[in-house]
Amino acid sequence: MTEYDEGKVKNTENIVCDLCDLPLEPAKTVLTYMRSTFATILLRCPKCKQCYFPEDLALGQAVEVESTLEEK
Amino acid sequence: MGPREMRVVMRACTQEEPPECTATCPVHFNAKGMCKNLLEGHAEKPLETYQAKVLFPRLVSAFCLAPCEGRCAKQRAGQAISIRALEENMCRQAESIPSPAKPLLDLPKTAAVIGGGIKGLACAFQLYDKGFKVSLYEKEDRLGGHGWLLDAELARLDFALLDDMPWKVHLGVNLDEKSIREEIMPVYDGVLFATEAAPISGLSWDEQTNQCTSQPKLFWCKHPCPSPYSIIDAVACGRKTATSAERFLKSVSLTASRQREGSYQTTLYTDIDETVPVDRRVPYSKPWPRDAAPLPGDPAPPKGIYSAEDAGKEAARCIQCECMKCVKQCVYMQEFESYPRAIIHEMATHIDMLVGQKQSGPLINSCSVCGLCTQLCPYDIGMPQSTRGARVHLVENGDNVEATHDFPMRDLAFSNGENYWFWSHGPDQKASRYLFFPGCQLAAVLPELMLPTYQYLRQKLGEEVGIGLGCCGAPAHWAGYDEKKKDELGEILTQWREMGEPTVIAACPTCQQQLEEAEPTMNILSLWQVMAQQGLPATEKQRPRPPLAIQDACGSRHQTKVQDAVRELLAAMGCPVEELAYSRENTKCCNYGGLVAYANASLAQEALAERLSESDADYLVYCGACREQCQRGGKTTWHLLELLFGEKQPPTVDISLKRDNRIKVKQDFYQFIKKDAWTPSMEKIHLIVSEEVRKTLDKRLVLEEDIQRVIEMAERTGVRLKKADGRRFIAHSQLGIITYWVEYEPVEEGYVIHSAYSHRLQIVEDVKKPTGSKK
């Protein structure tokens, strides 16, 4: 998920964590699927670590990654 | 069914079998391929193959008796392809014919061939090709024997290449028995006789291998040439003998895998129903010797030479024999550009090689398991056993992609959970003689018609009609979760037994199939059989209708009585029907079957669209899933119950409405039988969803119930994100193996849903939240 590499992921929508009242920041986040584990950059609350997986990512690149892992 | 059993099924598919022409040809020349190549303007390719097979292309093409034409499938729809004439034409038009390729090996062993006629040369060529050192002995002063008698000019051209062969040729040598024993046998590792008479008296020869039974290094092309002389049989006889000698010289089995040597009967099925009978486009010249002199008035026989155009026309008549009977009617196999043998092979290899890895693949999960392929196959071979077998195998080994069938499996759990599952005798009854089992999909699609149908049954069959609401486990069957299917059916059978084993009246053909398979002693009737017998409901209003095209359910493929009952009911209603080209036992699936829509949505849509395009008429169905799918595909579709009991068509369902509908059906029956209201235990928060968002959710398989759970969790824990406008929130929750995200806005009446989506990737996060709720 290269487009979501560090530097490209920005909190342009100014989304804040409602729990901690802090703006989300890009941070390395671990994802797992089909016995594979890898890290990517997602927006995340610096305090409580709640993260954000945007819609375009879920419906785009994530589907490709899922298919690849399912077909490996 | 595991990979081993799959391979057994696979081998019965004949698509890869050779066509009649190839199987009949004593040296198995692929005339089908030649026609294709000629059509494509590549005469050089078949010519090279032809030379390699027949060895003497000019002589063979001119004088072959063409047994291939005698069995050409085209004869069943016109005249056989003029294969020999095309071959002759190909040879005559070629500027040069390629010489045999140089052998790849150079082996030390030696072979003597006694007799330099066509058979002997065939022996010599084959042994040379395999790398042995060949010596030829011929009593005449030139090689070629019978070839010179056929046509001296063609013989001269064909035998010219002999000059280049690195063989030791001994001409004018007439070997008697003594010299063979003393001068030949001690010197060579193998001795092959290509003579008409027995070379050495008193020896016996094995029929299958042409090997001498007492002197294993001796071989004899003993089969006499048929009359009239058949040059291709002479070549085949020489080749066969050389094969035996070659195997002997290599010390391998002389008999293994030789069943298909020479002419044999292929098992390839070729459907020629749809081919237009076309006679030969050009006059046909019979091979030498001709059966009879031409009669006065007959056109002069051509010399076997076509114009380029005529040759093309003749090659174009070849129907390129192949089966593909099932593939022609199956969008799934067309999509993967394959046929059962190749698909099953790939699936078996797939699951064999990937043990221990999570693995599935669209190939395995995109088949609707409808069984039309098996129905159409001349050998009763089809995909369902194998595709389902592969799915079961993957599930049992933990190698399936769970997410593929997560939605239908959760739907099954919903149907057999508190929201729909309900079993009871009729109102105020302590026993049931009959049990109405509507299934899950019909209730989800046409909830309003369940109670009227039940009341009809009570009116016709008496009050001892019970009700059973649940799912028969078909989704688990299709997804390959056999243990789960067994459990679900086990629960149903337990309820059925507790109710005194009443006669089951099933509204869904698939339920009927599943139940019959699970409990062969169960007395089970189709709702349509019962209705056809008991007569139309009093409420049924006869009204003039345009004809309806019947979409038979794939589950009813072998339920002839059910198909008949449906038609009887329609006739009784005065409803004209249109039979689709593929109906009854040949019906096509709506593509709910096999859960294709969840594994390969685009394929399911394509297959459905094709089915719906078969007729302009509205469709008539008698399966809940067919009703939903056909309507989703944009076709006005009537379920039989709608004609019988309905007033107007209910709205097209979406995935969330289907769940609400099942709850409603349970509530209706509970109220009617128990005379009390039933409410689901899960308290629902009120969602405000626009029509547009609803459609998106349906497409993305996000249920309102999933959204409610995400919001409930977010509101309870405070773990949610806030958008810049301060009004919209984003929350997520992993429910099972899928993570759902919802963008929502709390308002006074509930929650406005702006979007929702899901993904299969799982986020490893550990949200540090304060204990207890936020608010």
Is the Cβ pair A19, B762 closer than 8 Å? no
Assign B355 a pLDDT band (cuts: 50, 70, 90). Answer: very low
Assign B409 a pLDDT band (cuts: 50, 70, 90). Answer: very high
Evaluate if residue B756 carries a pLDDT over 70.
yes
Highest mean pLDDT among B69-73, B79-83, B284-288, B524-528: B524-528
pLDDT one-digit tens code per residue, B570-588: 999 989 999 999 999 999 9
Would you state the structure tokens that stand for residue B311, as one six-digit string? 């040759």
Q: Which has the closest alpha carbon to B666: B526, B531, B469?
A: B469
Q: What is the mean pLDDT of residues B679-706?
A: 93
- Identify residue B306 by its one-letter amino acid code: Y
Which pLDDT value is given to residue A2? 44
Q: What is the mean pLDDT of residues B349-377?
A: 80
As a whole-number percent, the residues of chain B with pLDDT over 70 amount to: 93
> Helix B450-461 vs helix B655-674: angle between axes, to the nearest 10 degrees?
40
Collapse the DSSP code of B706 into the 3-class scheme (helix H, G, I; strand E, B; otherwise coil) and give the result: helix
pLDDT one-digit tens code per residue, B290-311: 344 444 454 444 455 677 777 8
Spans of chain A below 50 pLDDT: 2-3
Which pLDDT value is given to residue B770? 59
- Residue B326: phi and psi, rounded to 5, are -75, -40
Is the Cβ pair A70, B358 closer than 8 Å? yes
For B60, B732, B735, the CA distances from B713, given in Å and listed in that order, are: 84, 9, 11
Kindly give the pairing relationship between strand B548-551 and strand B618-621: parallel
Which pLDDT value is given to residue B406? 96
pLDDT one-digit tens code per residue, B431-481: 999 999 999 999 999 999 999 999 999 999 999 999 999 999 999 999 999
Which pLDDT value is given to residue B200? 86
Which pLDDT value is given to residue B745? 97
Which pLDDT value is given to residue B414? 97
Q: Which has the closest alpha carbon to B586: B372, B310, B307?
A: B372
Residues 756-775 of B with CB under 8 A from A: 757-770, 774
* End-to-end CA separation in angstroms for chain B: 55
Alpha-carbon B631 to chain mean position: 27
Is the Cβ pair B361, A30 closer than 8 Å? no
Q: What is the mean pLDDT of residues B266-279?
A: 76
* Residue carrying the six token digits 């698909």: B343
Which pLDDT value is given to residue B542? 65
A53 at B interface, C-beta within 8 A: yes
Mutate to test the interface with A, among B759, B762, B764 (most CBs of A within 10 A): B759
What whole-number distance in Å separates Cα of residue B613 and Cα of residue B593?
19
- Identify residue B278 by its one-letter amino acid code: V
Evaluate if residue B192 carries a pLDDT over 60.
yes
Q: What is the mean pLDDT of residues B88-108?
A: 86
Evaluate if residue B532 carries a pLDDT over 80.
yes
* End-to-end CA separation in angstroms for chain A: 17
Q: Which has the closest alpha carbon to B760: A26, A3, A70?
A: A70
- B-chain residue closest to A61, CA distance: B759
Q: What is the mean pLDDT of residues B335-353?
A: 89
Host H or E run for residue B193: strand B190-193
Which pLDDT value is given to residue B295? 45
Contact residues, chain A, for B730 at CB < 8 Å: 15, 52
Is the Cβ pair A35, B729 closer than 8 Å? no
Which pLDDT value is given to residue B484? 97
- A-chain residue closest to B763, CA distance: A31
The minimum CA-CA distance between A31 and chain B, rounded to whole Å, is 5
Is the Cβ pair A49, B762 closer than 8 Å? no
Would you state the structure tokens that stand for residue B739, as one six-digit string? 């993570």
Evaluate if residue B359 carries a pLDDT over 50.
no
Q: What is the mean pLDDT of residues B686-711?
A: 96
Evaluate if residue B287 carries a pLDDT over 60.
no
What whole-number distance in Å separates Cα of residue B181 and Cα of residue B185?
5
Contact B734, B406 (CB under 8 A): no
**What's the length of chain A?**
72
Would you state the structure tokens that stand for residue B637, as one six-digit string? 């579709």
Which pLDDT value is given to residue B310? 78
Q: Which has the closest alpha carbon to B484: B474, B498, B495, B493?
A: B474
What whole-number distance in Å separates Cα of residue B372 and Cα of residue B582?
10
For A17, the closest of B721, B758, B761 (CB atoms) is B721
As a whole-number percent, the residues of chain B with pLDDT over 90 amount to: 75
Assign B225 a pLDDT band (cuts: 50, 70, 90). Answer: low
Mean of pLDDT over chain B: 90
Is the Cβ pair B721, A58 closer than 8 Å? no
What single string gives the DSSP state of each residue in B296-361? Answer: TTPPPPP-S---HHHHHHHHHT-------TTGGG-HHHHHTT--HHHHHHHHHHHHHHTTTS----
For B765, the closest of A15, A50, A65 (CB atoms) is A50
The minimum CA-CA distance between B722 and chain A, rounded to whole Å, is 5
Collapse the DSSP code of B174 into the 3-class scheme (helix H, G, I; strand E, B; otherwise coil) and give the result: coil
What whole-number distance in Å separates Cα of residue B129 and Cα of residue B99?
12
Would you state the structure tokens that stand for residue B455, as one six-digit string? 């009341």
For A50, the closest of B719, B743, B762 (CB atoms) is B719
Q: Regarding predicted confidence, which is higher, B192 or B541?
A: B192
Is the Cβ pair A33, B762 closer than 8 Å? yes
Q: What is the mean pLDDT of residues B155-164?
A: 92
Which pLDDT value is given to residue A3? 47
Contact residues, chain A, for B739 at CB < 8 Å: 53
Q: What is the mean pLDDT of residues B268-284?
A: 68
pLDDT one-digit tens code per residue, B14-66: 999 999 999 999 999 999 999 999 888 888 889 999 999 999 999 999 889 89
Would you state the structure tokens that stand for residue B106, as one six-digit string? 């150079």
Which pLDDT value is given to residue B352? 80
Evaluate if residue B543 carries a pLDDT over 80.
no
A16 at B interface, C-beta within 8 A: yes
* Residue B538 burial (CB count, 10 A): 8
The single-letter DSSP state of residue B295 is P
Region class of B667: left (phi > 0), else alpha (psi between -120 and 50), else beta: alpha
Which pLDDT value is given to residue A24? 96
Q: What is the mean pLDDT of residues B376-380?
A: 94
Interface confidence, given as ipTM, is: 0.95
The minimum CA-CA distance between A23 and chain B, rounded to whole Å, is 9
Evaluate if residue B288 carries a pLDDT over 60.
no
For A31, the closest of B360, B732, B764 (CB atoms) is B764
What whole-number distance in Å separates Cα of residue B667 and Cα of residue B449?
13
A18 at B interface, C-beta within 8 A: yes
Which pLDDT value is given to residue B112? 97
pLDDT one-digit tens code per residue, B576-619: 999 999 999 999 999 999 999 999 999 999 999 999 999 999 99
Q: What is the mean pLDDT of residues B655-669?
A: 96
Q: What is the mean pLDDT of residues B172-181?
A: 92
Assign B286 a pLDDT band (cuts: 50, 70, 90). Answer: very low
Contact residues, chain A, for B765 at CB < 8 Å: 29, 44, 49-51
* Residue carrying the six token digits 């061939």: B113
Evaluate if residue B550 carries a pLDDT over 80.
yes
Would you state the structure tokens that stand for residue B235, as one six-digit string? 């070549």
Would you state the structure tokens that stand for residue B457, as one six-digit string? 């049954």
Question: Sign of the CA dihedral B349, B351, B353, B354?
Answer: positive
Evaluate if residue B80 carries a pLDDT over 60.
yes
Which pLDDT value is given to residue B89? 87
Contact B753, B742 (CB under 8 A): yes
Contacts with B337 (C-beta within 8 Å, 6 or more apart), sequence order:
none
Query: Kindly report the CA angle at B223 between B130 and B98, in degrees rounded to 5?
Result: 40
Is the Cβ pair B730, A15 closer than 8 Å? yes
The minimum CA-CA distance between B607 and chain A, rounded to whole Å, is 22
Q: What is the mean pLDDT of residues B710-716?
A: 96
The single-letter DSSP state of residue B184 is I
Assign B396 a pLDDT band (cuts: 50, 70, 90). Answer: very high
A56 at B interface, C-beta within 8 A: no
A62 at B interface, C-beta within 8 A: yes
Contacts with B267 (C-beta within 8 Å, 6 or more apart), sequence order:
B14, B17, B379
Is the Cβ pair B358, A35 closer than 8 Å? yes
For B757, the closest of A19, A33, A55 (CB atoms) is A55
> Helix B450-461 vs helix B527-534: angle between axes, to the nearest 10 degrees?
50
